[in-house]
Amino acid sequence: MKHLIAGLTALFPALGMIGGEPVASEEHDEAVVTRVLADYYRAFSTLDVQAILPYYHEPSLLVNPQGVAAMPTHAALVATVAPGMEAFRARGYARSELTMLKVKRLSAGTALATGVAVRYKTDGQELDRVGVLYLLQRVDGSWKIVALVVHDADVRLRL
């Protein structure tokens, strides 16, 4: 049946739409979210706060062991994240890598992603690692980070 629907959708593109909007499969959405987060990590690795702004929804929420910060605008996000990026730079930060990523679509427009962010120094040594949980929302066809929760790296969530 799945193959029949896929075949019909290929022949008649309108069958793949509801209310004029394309209907993406759960697997497709999970792959797109994975790509968005990989792109986000490349942008973050530049330590240019402007480079990460397109990945965040307005408003967004950041939660870490130090507390909770509501980001009503990208300007608020810059004010909160820029000092952390400078602290990474001072510690010899070179790049981040998202490992053990698991993505689960919660609805047609919402996804949850969890993994471990591994940060490396310029000499290639590991700087640190933290657990991360992202709540993403599809906005105008693009997936945006609505909430980021940083937690202990050894906490594993099963999706």
Full 3-state SS string of the chain: CHHHHHHHHHHCHHHHEECCEECCCHHHHHHHHHHHHHHHHHHHCCCCHHHHHHHEEEEEEEEECCEEEEECCHHHHHHHHHHHHHHHHHCCEEEEEEEEEEEEEEECCEEEEEEEEEEEECCCCEEEEEEEEEEEEEECCEEEEEEEEEECCCCCCCC
7 located within any domain: no
What are the angstrom distances between the C-alpha of 75 and each of 13, 26, 117? 41, 33, 24
Token pair 């896929």 is at which residue?
Answer: 6
Say yes or no to pLDDT of 10 above 90: no
18 located within any domain: no
Mean pLDDT value across residues 44-69: 97
Say yes or no to pLDDT of 55 above 60: yes
108 located within any domain: yes
Tokens of 41: 């990590």
% of the chain exceeding 90 in pLDDT: 79
8 located within any domain: no
12 located within any domain: no
Q: Is the distance from CB of 146 to CB of 60 less than 8 angstroms? A: yes
5 located within any domain: no
17 located within any domain: no
**Dist. CA 110–CA 39, nearest whole Å:** 18
Confidence category of residue 92, pLDDT binned at 50, 70, 90 = very high
Mean pLDDT value across residues 84-89: 96
Q: Which domain holds residue 108?
A: 24-151
Count of structural domains within the chain: 1
6 located within any domain: no
In this structure, what CATH number is given to the domain that contains residue 53? 3.10.450.50
pTM over 0.75: yes
Confidence category of residue 12, pLDDT binned at 50, 70, 90 = very low
